[in-house]
Structure 1
Amino acid sequence: MPDTETPAPQLLELARSLGVATEYWDWQGEHVTVPEGTVRAVLEALGVDVSTPEAVRLSAVELDERPWRRVLPPSVVVRQGARTAVPVHLPHGTSVAAWIELEDGGRRELVQQERWVEPRVVDGGQVGEASFELPADLPLGWHRLRARVGDAEPAVAALVVTPDRLTLPASVAGRRAWGVMTQLYQVRSRRSWGVGDLADLAELASWTGGDLGADFVLVNPLHAAEPVAPMEPSPYLPTTRRFVNPLYIRVEAIDEVAYMPAAQRQLLEWQAEAVQATNGDDTIDRDGAWAAKRSALETVFRLPRSPGRQIAFERYCVEQGEGLVDFATWCALAEEHGPAWTQWPEQLHDPRSAAVAEERERLADTVELHRWMQWVVDEQLATAHRRAREAGMRLGVVHDLAVGVHPEGADVWGLGPALARGVTVGAPPDPFNQQGQDWSQPPWRPDQLAELGYAPYRDMLRTVLRHAGGIRIDHVIGLFRLWWVPAGQPPTEGTYVRYDHEALVGILALEAQRSGALVVGEDLGVVEPWVRTYLEERGVLGTSILWFERQEGGVPLRPEAWRELCLASVTTHDLPPSAGYLAGEHVDLRARLELLTRPVEQERALDEADRAQVLDAVRARGLLREGAGEQEVVEALHRYLTWAPSRLLGVALADMVGDHRTVNQPGTDEEYPNWRVPLADGSGTVLLLEDVVRSRRARSLARAVRTR
């Protein structure tokens, strides 16, 4: 039975001081008090001892005194142009000097403010607080703040100066951009090895950009999965968010393949033909595709590289540093011991241990192979983005960033305390997932992110933005608060934990601006209204889905009243394609999978009424005639979006070919073939990229969104 006891007052105060919610309002407007067991479990995951009332009291004292025990805060994140005061703690009466070491090697001395703060007694001694103002003209970037107290070694803290507002790239600042949204693994061509790859992405971008006039192609997260079967099918549950899944490599596009000996080349072609035979299958088989591709990649890896190619590989390895070594080591160990690192010998649990160093040396060839694969996939990503821009796309490839990572994966092993243990990320109940969701992903620990100077977060963003015109942040509310679910509890027994959104959004804006990319936040579901206002002020685009844009009373919001800073679309990957949604297939599917908390008849009636309201609004614009067929309705819905001021307009590739089937049904695992459904037409016939390029329906829908 879930624990429903109301937390004690002192526990409540401790939780609130750490950003842990002790109450909230649910999706039906009901006030909910978080059970004491949930509050305790979440505090323990934050490293706080709450085992007894005395432990709670001591933890509260320690939390209050913690800033006074250190000279500088662990990290300081500020907006460019702001005047910010930084506290420096030191023994009362001691002299102090502070300065900034700039990212470019410069130095700025800081002036102490005339500001008196009453000293405190901490650990038996008096501790004072000095205050230093940061100059408003500091350049954007990653700097170091240093403070010397007396003759001691200087204390150091990360200092990040972020843009006040992320400006849109000049290429899209003047007019709306439209593009195609797709799951890359679905975009299979005759040359694919069972799964859509980066060469297919380049072809898709060349066609949609050069022939249809699209400005971007938005793909699912390309983060790496396990290097051994079974490979997790969900791109939103990767083993790491920093590195890319080598499953997306096109083997034949690697330079060295052109110089393979004839016998090896023939063997590679046989391998390709065997797996290409599955391109027409009704279910995507990642494991089969990866088995063939992994074998072929190892063969290509052992081929000699030209001096220039070898230098490029080595340069990439230096750029990616220890993070790449850790990931490649985890992959090599996963191939030896299985992907669940908690099941490895205990001495291998710590990536910095002597045992791991010995294994890395023993498995050096395999570690190098995995570093090489990351270099190859990075090169092919660069090629796809370049070809998109050459085809006329104003943005090119837009990448997607998942919320979190697999609990047994490379990031959890390699990043250590940066990720919380004993809890997972999920979502509270909402209209489309009325039992809540548990995504099984360990969340960032906000305190540890600050202690690490936000380096893991920065490094992850930099990889995703290396070859991108934009980045979509899935569940962007996670930069403000996340729903933490204690291990073993249902998602209804979770609670919200607050993050330093000023730091996380600021760093995101900094890295995006340096890459010349825009940022789209997926702000659907239970989102506090002020969050959308804040993101707009920082230059982050929101997400608007036709079916969800409503005003008070549930009436569809007229398109002219939609947000300007947003990506507008008819559907999203968590809904069926538009043809399926119009047929109410999402209700039937959730009923079949027992995901509804209301009677199916009631759910169906409400859904039909909601869809009818939208269709009536489209008809009122003269965009849709009575008795129109499915394709006409889908095109009319997209034309309706062109009346909105939204800067970006997204068209699902599935809508361009009339697909019906849901890609992902939230709240399910094996009950539905999530992320394994290939692209198909309205009759369910599997389509290859060559078929899509010839599609009259695709061209017609592209024309509909290009003109108002």
Structure 2
Amino acid sequence: MTDALSDLARAHGVATAYTTDRGHRVDVTPDTLVAVLAACGVDAGTERAARAALEAHRSERAARLLPPCVLVRVPVGDGSGGRGASDRRAGRRGGPQDPGGTDTTPPLYLPEHTHAAVQLEHGGTVPLSPGLPPGHHTLHVRTPDGRQACAPLLAVPERLPAPARRTWGFLVQLYSVLSRRSWGMGDLGDLAELASWSGRELGAGFVQLGPLHAVEPGALPDPSPYRPSSRRFADPMHVRVEAVPEYAYLDASARPAVERLVERARQLNDSVLSGSSLIDREAVLDLKRRALRAVHDVPLSPGRAAAFAAYTEREGQGLTDHATWCALADVYGGAWRSWPAELRDPRSPAVARAREELAEAVDHHRWLAWITDEQLAAAQAAAVGAGMPVGLVHDLAVGVAPEGADAWALQRCLATGMSVGAPPDDFNPRGQDWGQPPWRPDALAAEGYRPFAELLRAGLRHAGALRVDHVMGLSRLWWVPEGRPPTEGTYVGYDRDAMLGVLALEAYRAGAGVIGEDLGTVEDGMREELAARGMLGTSVQRFEYLGGSTGRHGPLPPDQWRADCLATLTTHDLPTTAAWLSGEHVELRARLGLLTRPEAAEKAAAAAERDGWLAELARLGLLPDPGGEVAALHRFLRLTPARMLGVWLPDATGDRRPQNLPGTATVHPNWRLPVADARGRPVPLEELPRTALLRTLADVFADLEEESPHDPHDTDRAPDDTTENANANETEERHGRPGSC
């Protein structure tokens, strides 16, 4: 590797080496660096080109009066204080971050006597000062020698307000929670019922969901909700068709055909609930699309028409692009890279003409997005109306499908020819390739992070909190050149301060919280940064050990868990608690040929892990428990200082099947299982109130809201060194990522 290539890579936040989960240094190959730089618009194909690109980068940076984006932190009245800005020092520059965690761009200093003014997001101009309101503003500067420049200025909250009280709730995959009114999978009507019942009768404070993002049309090669077509818009297959107001006014000529679709949907639903078939998203989507086309033909009342127009105006160009892609996909298929060349650019004249020709279809897809948004709002209203302090917790996937709507509309901000993944580790020695294009750090900064802010805004609009999948990706991502194995990738850094700042800003404006999924390999300082900003992390019992999950030597006692987290026993990618206790998860992996060592050795290790936890429960006096070991483990969770406590809904019904077993899409029914009991019999929503184990677990968390959450900034309680070590050393990629689903 030449010095020019190495320096050029570092200048653009591209790692030239990385450290494995075992602490070994690995040098990145020059070919990988050249490919990654090319995806960022930088030619480094030869030594001469690399030197020229490096010199151009340095010259451009030296001549620039303002960076692409400026960030300031401001107080928001929560007592956290804020750095703000001064008339000479305007905060931090926007730009990539060194993959090692060190910001590559220093604070911005303006020349003496420079005139600086801020054009506010909602109008008006004010001097650059510490009193800026949070928002997406524009900084204008003029130097004494007449030079002028402007750049986006992000005024972001120093810290989000802390939750007022501890709370608990259910973790669910919505498709799996069917009622007898569903159309073959759980829908937003079912979600409203679940939230209303659990909030009122059980005292639950939230329902955390898997992603509800829009999926690709047509046959679904991968039913994973973590590989969406769009992260900004939810999928209409989650709509309760009968709850659309226009459904009641179907024309007499259209109603019989729709009623036949309803009857077929009920048969499909009965088949799933009887255990005769799995959840079939394609069938559900087909039935709902056909029914909703008929419902769309019903004229809107004046009030409804005004509401639709207001939604369309609010969503603007993003909705137009999404609806246009959907209309084009109906004609040419969902893989836009195979469309006619003139349609691959969303801003091309050909696309503008096609939008006019397909105006009716574009309007239909706008309408679908609107009615879905309405039912999301209704579900959150039901949750809040039931007394939930949080309500719905939506999930933001780490990326999008490379041929989907977002990849088409936002291609200017995505790295062409690259895929997100994970480096090799003990859990997956070949690494992981998730098949999703990453953000380009430079393009995001140049646009003031607006594309990122817009999808965050959408996810937070009808939520009390947002879970950010693989939150470490806001600091760095593992880029894999297309056509190469994950072992030939490298880390590319993002401006962590800016990415987390935008996340904090949108959460603050929505009055919502943030939960970062920070399982697996986490770079130094990331968890501490989340906590400092008032964002929660994720702690899972299976990974909480003294010394961390790699150097484990006994379960981490409950008082040593971190407070700033959502604590759970398991996740959608792990065995249910019943299966973990029985050892069935090892038997399942053995049947599928997934074990990397003899079955007897795997069973012995699993039994030792389980017995260690049971011994810890006994030490704490939680065994024997009248509710059994599952209840005792949840009582353990309550003893932790975690601000939010999650109950995986299948754990509450005794289900023994994993919703997802990473890497087994062809041999295991991932993402297609309804919530079931211990015998595998599906449990409809109507039976949940009569489920004894669920009631027992709800009793475990009774009166939890009366407990004040632990304040991690309380200096009277010194941090426990063992806890810090456990968090710092948790470096295994144990959590299955989207691409491995």
Please report the TM-score for the alignment, with normalisation by the length of structure 1: 0.90
Aligned residue in 2 for 1:621:
620
The within-5 A match list for 1:523-672 is: 523-552=518-547, 553-554=551-552, 555-625=554-624, 632-672=628-668
Deviation (angstroms), 1:287: 0.7
Aligned residue in 1 for 2:673:
677
Aligned residue in 2 for 1:414:
409
Find out whether 1:47 has 2:25 as its counterpart. no
Instruction: Provide closer, same or farther for how the CA distance between residues 275 and 95 of structure 1 changes in structure 2, counting only shifts above 3 A.
Output: same
Q: Deviations over 1:293-320 (max 9, x none)?
A: 0011011111011101000000000000
Find out whether 1:160 has 2:149 as its counterpart. no
CA distance in 1, matches of 2:50, 2:663: 35
Aligned residue in 1 for 2:124:
106
Does structure 2 retain, via aligned residues, the 8 Å contact 1:433–1:595?
no
Instruction: Provide closer, same or farther for how the CA distance between residues 276 and 435 of structure 1 changes in structure 2, counting only shifts above 3 A.
Output: farther
Does structure 2 retain, via aligned residues, the 8 Å contact 1:225–1:231?
no
CA distance in 2, matches of 1:540, 1:338: 40
AA aligned to 2:73 is R
CA distance in 1, matches of 2:596, 2:72: 45
CA distance in 2, matches of 1:29, 1:585: 33
AA aligned to 1:695 is T
CA distance in 2, matches of 1:64, 1:583: 60
Within the candidate set 180, 190, 193, 2:183 is matched to: 193
Within the candidate set 198, 202, 217, 1:227 is matched to: 217
* SS of 2:347 mapped into structure 1: coil
Within the candidate set 311, 324, 349, 2:344 is matched to: 349
Deviation (angstroms), 1:701: 1.5
CA distance in 2, matches of 1:291, 1:12: 51
Does structure 2 retain, via aligned residues, the 8 Å contact 1:642–1:707?
no
Does structure 2 retain, via aligned residues, the 8 Å contact 1:425–1:440?
yes
Q: Deviations over 1:326-355 (max 9, x none)?
A: 000000000100000001000100011111
Within the candidate set 235, 238, 247, 2:237 is matched to: 247
Aligned residue in 2 for 1:3:
none
Find out whether 1:260 has 2:250 as its counterpart. yes
CA distance in 1, matches of 2:531, 2:137: 27
The within-5 A match list for 1:42-441 is: 42-80=36-74, 81-82=82-83, 83=85, 85-86=89-90, 97-109=115-127, 134-148=128-142, 155-168=149-162, 172-173=163-164, 175-230=165-220, 232-279=222-269, 280-281=271-272, 282-441=277-436
Find out whether 1:493 has 2:495 as its counterpart. no
* SS of 1:205 mapped into structure 2: helix
* SS of 2:479 mapped into structure 1: strand
CA distance in 2, matches of 1:606, 1:35: 37
CA distance in 2, matches of 1:584, 1:323: 48
* SS of 1:624 mapped into structure 2: coil
* SS of 1:44 mapped into structure 2: helix
Does structure 1 retain, via aligned residues, the 8 Å contact 2:393–2:464?
yes
Deviation (angstroms), 1:672: 2.6
* SS of 1:146 mapped into structure 2: strand
AA aligned to 1:446 is P
Aligned residue in 2 for 1:12:
6
Does structure 2 retain, via aligned residues, the 8 Å contact 1:418–1:448?
yes
CA distance in 2, matches of 1:185, 1:266: 27
Does structure 2 retain, via aligned residues, the 8 Å contact 1:436–1:667?
no
Deviation (angstroms), 1:654: 0.6
CA distance in 1, matches of 2:639, 2:46: 60
Does structure 2 retain, via aligned residues, the 8 Å contact 1:434–1:597?
no
CA distance in 1, matches of 2:116, 2:409: 33
Does structure 1 retain, via aligned residues, the 8 Å contact 2:134–2:157?
yes
Identity %: 51
Instruction: Provide closer, same or farther for how the CA distance between residues 369 and 239 of structure 1 changes in structure 2, counting only shifts above 3 A.
Output: same
Does structure 2 retain, via aligned residues, the 8 Å contact 1:210–1:392?
yes
Instruction: Provide closer, same or farther for how the CA distance between residues 333 and 69 of structure 1 changes in structure 2, counting only shifts above 3 A.
Output: farther
Deviation (angstroms), 1:148: 4.2
Deviation (angstroms), 1:33: 2.2
Within the candidate set 7, 15, 30, 1:21 is matched to: 15
User: Unaligned stretches of 5+ in structure 2?
Assistant: 75-81, 94-109, 705-741
CA distance in 2, matches of 1:150, 1:317: 45
CA distance in 2, matches of 1:29, 1:254: 55
Deviation (angstroms), 1:188: 1.0
Find out whether 1:693 has 2:689 as its counterpart. yes
AA aligned to 1:162 is V
Q: Deviations over 1:520-552 (max 9, x none)?
A: 001100112411111100111010001111122
Residues 454-463 or 61-70, more deviating:
61-70
Does structure 2 retain, via aligned residues, the 8 Å contact 1:257–1:265?
no
Instruction: Provide closer, same or farther for how the CA distance between residues 430 and 217 of structure 1 changes in structure 2, counting only shifts above 3 A.
Output: farther
AA aligned to 1:249 is V
Does structure 2 retain, via aligned residues, the 8 Å contact 1:437–1:667?
no
Does structure 2 retain, via aligned residues, the 8 Å contact 1:547–1:611?
no
Residues 318-327 or 659-668, more deviating:
659-668
* SS of 1:55 mapped into structure 2: helix
Aligned residue in 2 for 1:508:
503
CA distance in 2, matches of 1:9, 1:93: 33
Instruction: Provide closer, same or farther for how the CA distance between residues 77 and 624 of structure 1 changes in structure 2, counting only shifts above 3 A.
Output: same
Aligned residue in 1 for 2:457:
462
Residues 301-310 or 606-615, more deviating:
606-615
AA aligned to 2:121 is E
Aligned residue in 2 for 1:517:
512
Find out whether 1:703 has 2:689 as its counterpart. no
CA distance in 2, matches of 1:618, 1:142: 50
AA aligned to 1:163 is P
CA distance in 1, matches of 2:337, 2:146: 41
Does structure 1 retain, via aligned residues, the 8 Å contact 2:2–2:47?
no
Deviation (angstroms), 1:655: 0.6
* SS of 1:649 mapped into structure 2: strand
* SS of 2:218 mapped into structure 1: coil
AA aligned to 1:435 is R
AA aligned to 1:136 is P
Within the candidate set 450, 453, 464, 2:445 is matched to: 450
Deviation (angstroms), 1:292: 0.8
* SS of 1:572 mapped into structure 2: coil
CA distance in 1, matches of 2:198, 2:407: 38
Deviation (angstroms), 1:151: 10
Q: Deviations over 1:45-72 (max 9, x none)?
A: 2221111111111111122122234442
Does structure 2 retain, via aligned residues, the 8 Å contact 1:74–1:453?
yes
Instruction: Provide closer, same or farther for how the CA distance between residues 431 and 216 of structure 1 changes in structure 2, counting only shifts above 3 A.
Output: farther
Deviation (angstroms), 1:687: 2.0
AA aligned to 2:618 is R
Deviation (angstroms), 1:581: 2.0
AA aligned to 2:559 is E
CA distance in 1, matches of 2:363, 2:541: 47
AA aligned to 2:37 is L
Does structure 2 retain, via aligned residues, the 8 Å contact 1:231–1:287?
no
AA aligned to 1:145 is L
